Amino acid sequence: KAGQRVLESITHYLETKLKLRVNRVKSGVGHPWQRKFLGYTVCNRERNVRLKVAPRAIIRLRGDLKAVFRRGRGRALRRVIEELNLKLRGWMNYFRHSGVKGVLPELDGWIRRHLRTILWLQWTRPFTRATNLMRLGLDEQRAWNSAQNGRGSWWNAGASHLNHALPKKLFDRLGLVALLGYYHQLIRLT
């Protein structure tokens, strides 16, 4: 109740005396872990208070990355990765003060799955898919079964045959920024 009174008093002062407009959607009273400020929120576990990335910031990042993935369907994977790296480095530099990094491996896996989806869609015919899977190290029988399975691109991108053919180290070699690795690199520099 006291916080609500202070909020109303400050809002009245800002609007009447200073002639400023207060955004009532963003302004509110609550515990720090219930509010977000500049993309951060607070995590409070057993009196161990740390900053973490707010859920809306993660949703916004995923939306930005989806736009890059949509544009990447007809381009070389290296060019898509170059464009992704710009966004990922900027986002991680902004959120480098986050003490909770549990969402970063999940985002890394999601990004790699989208890149596998792009490749699967670029290999349009089953013959091309089987040939490329064999070239990437799958045995002939498994490559042909995978190429002709009739499942969608998102399912195939998460399946074991594409994870085996296109592992994380391949994307590291192509220069994809791993959020968790980049986070640790930023922490070492500070």
Encoded tokens for 95: 């959120």
- For 8-36, what is the mean pLDDT? 86
**Sequence-distant (≥ 6) Cβ neighbours of residue 124 within 8 angstroms:** none
Residue range 101-151, pLDDT digits in tens: 889 999 999 999 999 999 999 999 999 999 999 999 999 999 999 999 989
User: Which pLDDT score, from 0 to 100, does residue 179 have?
Assistant: 93
Interatomic CA distance for residues 29 and 36, integer angstroms: 11
In the Cβ-directed half-sphere of 42, how many Cα atoms lie within 13 Å?
Answer: 12
Q: Taking a C-beta distance cutoff of 8 angstroms, is the pair 15, 9 a contact?
A: no
Residue range 51-101, pLDDT digits in tens: 889 999 999 999 999 999 998 778 899 999 999 999 999 999 999 988 888
Q: Taking a C-beta distance cutoff of 8 angstroms, is the pair 37, 134 a contact?
A: no
User: Which pLDDT score, from 0 to 100, does residue 161 have?
Assistant: 94
User: Which pLDDT score, from 0 to 100, does residue 48 have?
Assistant: 79
- For 154-159, what is the mean pLDDT? 95
pLDDT band of residue 173 (cuts 50, 70, 90) is very high
C-alpha distances in Å from residue 53, one per residue of 43, 88, 167: 10, 14, 27
- Name the residue with tokens 């990355």: 65
b (16+ CB within 10 A) / e for 151-173: eebeebbeeebbeebbeeeebee
b (16+ CB within 10 A) / e for 17-42: eeeeeeeeeeeeeeeeeeebeebbbb
User: Which pLDDT score, from 0 to 100, does residue 51 have?
Assistant: 87
